[in-house]
Amino acid sequence: MSDDAFESQVRERLDAVERSLSDAVDSDEAFVAEAATHLLRAGGKRFRPLLVLLTAEFGDPSAADIVPAALVVELTHLATLYHDDVMDEAALRRGAQSANARWDNSIAILTGDYLFARASHIVADLGPEAVRIQADTFSRLVQGQIRETTGPRAGEDPLSHYLSVVADKTGALIATSARFGAMMAGAPTSVQDRLTEFGERIGSAFQLSDDIIDVASDAHDSGKTPGTDLREGVPTLPTLIALSSDAPDDARLRELLSGPISNDDDHAEALALLREHPALDDARAFVRRWSDDARALLTDLPPGIARDALESLCDTVVTRIG
């Protein structure tokens, strides 16, 4: 952020959210508390709570319901991570052992359910409209996961299908983060609506950039096992672009990307080929366009430090993919 005083203020509020997160996931049952804090202790970007705090600047940022709203979206996000790691059979999350690897799938699923319940308990105090928005968001999260699992329908464009999955699985909760901040701060409805659009677009761009990082970065850099989706045969932006190529030289890569990759040597070969393929740069260009679209949504908002900070998020989405 360009303003040091504003950045310090936001950091203080993020610290308050962090302290409240620890309290929110606590339990009298020692094992439940340990499992629920497992990923919390591993850290994270806290992108969703940050967005709540930034969009609250378009109203009264000191409003009492802003921190609880930030808790709701981060608890919901944490819950989805526990479930996602089960679906992906992931061994690492945020540089630490995933919950399903440390314990088992049942514990990971139940811990995710517990975190969803904690989020529901908090959102109940934010009013019926917040409850409705959270319910709609949860519905989109689940539908996105189901559509990812079942794959595109016959005749459906794989990339269009994938982008709709990204919008539901990632964009929806980040859009809700942006709406909650503005809504709890009492911003005008028109501002809330525009920020929600921004959240959906930048949230989807954020996930698409993660797709690139999953291919391009090592575990040491990203804190996750590289090529997890590749191993599971889950299509992502770089793989879908690569699969659309009919160049003879890409035959081996297309063969490797045609399904799950269980063999370690094949997985390493696919990663190496994909890292050298033009599809990776095409994917980066795609993310830059989405980031630019998100930035364009901010032009009608009141100018100032808060809008500048949101524009910097657009820059971050691009710079993190190189």
Residue 220's pLDDT is what? 44
- For the chain, the maximum distance between any two Cα atoms, rounded to a whole number of angstroms, is 61
Residue 97's pLDDT is what? 65
φ and ψ at residue 187, rounded to 5 degrees: -70, 155
Handedness of CA 188, 191, 193, 196 (dihedral sign): negative
| pLDDT, one tens digit for every residue, the chain (322 residues) | 667 888 888 899 999 998 888 888 887 787 777 777 766 777 677 899 999 999 999 999 999 999 999 999 999 998 888 767 666 666 655 556 666 666 667 777 888 888 999 999 999 999 999 999 999 999 999 999 999 888 999 999 999 999 999 999 999 999 999 999 999 999 999 999 999 999 999 999 999 998 999 888 775 455 556 777 888 788 899 999 999 888 888 899 999 998 888 889 999 999 999 999 999 999 999 999 999 999 999 999 999 999 999 999 999 988 888 7
Check: CB of residue 60 under 8 Å from CB of residue 188.
Answer: no
What's the rounded Cα separation, in Å, for the pair 97 and 42? 9
Residue 247's pLDDT is what? 84
pTM for the whole thing?
Answer: 0.88
Pair of tokens at residue 65: 């319901």
* Residue 161: Cβ within 10 Å count: 18
Q: CA separation (Å) from 184 to 19, 65, 174?
A: 20, 6, 15
Residue 233's pLDDT is what? 82
Residue 101's pLDDT is what? 62
SS3 236: coil
> Helices 264-276 and 278-296 meet at what angle, rounded to 10?
60
What's the rounded Cα separation, in Å, for the pair 31 and 36? 8
Q: CA separation (Å) from 161 to 50, 74, 231?
A: 29, 26, 20
Pair of tokens at residue 112: 């995710």
The amino acid at 80 = T
Beta strands (DSSP E) in the chain are: 92-93, 96-97
